[in-house]
Structure 1
């Protein structure tokens, strides 16, 4: 009976101590959590999810998406106020407008090239189609500018971290932050890591969807395959790869090649859809079914100048579904033609 009471007493004491430790830890965590900013909380949660995935070795698309969304939310929360401060200053506004002007110029030039490759004439002759081609390219340029912004932010983070390391011996723990800002060094490292991760993830997603097909140098080149060979035993005693290692390498090679092939095919399909949509727009909205220039029935025309027309006719043989040809304008004022 006494032994039983002693066991109960020890159990109650241990339970009480455990509850006290739990309350103490909980209070400490709540104080730590309340001292963090929104961005720091996002980095903390994203890192916690990443550690859970690494420790338990499981892949969950929802958790992975939530992890990168948290990191992106933290990055935007820190960048947006600085962007607004830059925008509210006259030099900053000039810099931002200059950057947007450069991007818009490249986007207009690429849209002009797309119109020319589809129709065979200058984009200046098809202003509405030129604008539509620019709209088709907005998603690609949005992702590219976002990735470039993240890369620039990552470079600035590296500079900030380097300055912190240089000034730390002089007692400087933070700058460009409020006085109550805590864990400046740790947050800078987390910000750098997650900026790099988000930039890589956005690049992979954009490439797999096909949004970066506009920036692929050559979509017709075959996908580069990875060749792996087993290492031969050398005089120094290096052992050959086991059968399991060879199988793992072969499986990894196949997965990489399959991913590259699928990505390139999606880029090709995305480019084809862009050209198809543009061709449909040119025929349905830019071209005229009636014109002063004579043209065969069932075709549509765009007047390039007083003497030339762009004749468009549906064609199942063409990839975009339409055939384009520059023809002389035959009218009552210039000359007669029989169709």
Structure 2
């Protein structure tokens, strides 16, 4: 097997985040569970909610895109596959991810729908409530999958959010086949409980078929996948099915089980939680970077915790300080 050129290549939603502060009462008013993510199924619905927002800030996002941007900031070599439209937001996304040092050359899609956007409301406690219009992202075709780049990456990283639409689901299945044929690892993030409620059987089958090497979940996602609220039971059940299981636990830190080895790390202390948008994405950045560099399980978790702490200390899901300098503290 050849030495990979890329550390991580990711497939995910190409989305521009629009962030604004909001009160708890506003979250109740729009009928969304605080701290969750809901899909919007039309540009009209997205426009109507956007009209209710206060002053916003546009930042390129998307879960897997955030992760590879974080890995690039750590000094890793990354690529991203995701669909934008030939519009202004598509130009913004493409510019930002390339400027972050990520290889991105998926051709823009002409016509409707527009590039995906995520309207994010951040409450005073730093919690983010996301409302996502996938837009062009849900039309990523299998033909757009750069098989040579996937085969040339140590790890293929997939986001559960993109499993919902049929076309990109087929593209991700093709990507998994390509990575497997090349002898590469496949990492998967469950993304959100709603993804499991819609596609849990698919995810469980991917795991049962031995197609997932590294699985990321938070506590709620783990419980939904394992179909039990007993954390220890859920952890044991899923860890027995995947080579590496990584579970984030918010302020309680994170744990991972790999080949029978278990590691636990605390959350990195910060002065104040400003915005939790992208916390899981950047945790995955640190962990995957550590694994791609041959770090041990505990060090990889610590890298994840460092990256997550940086991202929740400011608004937006892309790093604003030198992540590599922070990570270098681990030696």
TM over 0.5: no
For Structure 1 versus Structure 2, the TM-score category normalised by the shorter chain is: under 0.3
Q: Compute the TM-score of the two structures, normalised by the length of structure 1.
A: 0.22
User: Whose radius of gyration is greater, 1 or 2?
Assistant: 1
Higher relative contact order (CA 8 A, sep 6+): 2
Relative to the length of structure 2, the TM-score reads 0.22
Q: Which has the higher helix share?
A: 1
Per residue, is there more strand in 1 or in 2? 2
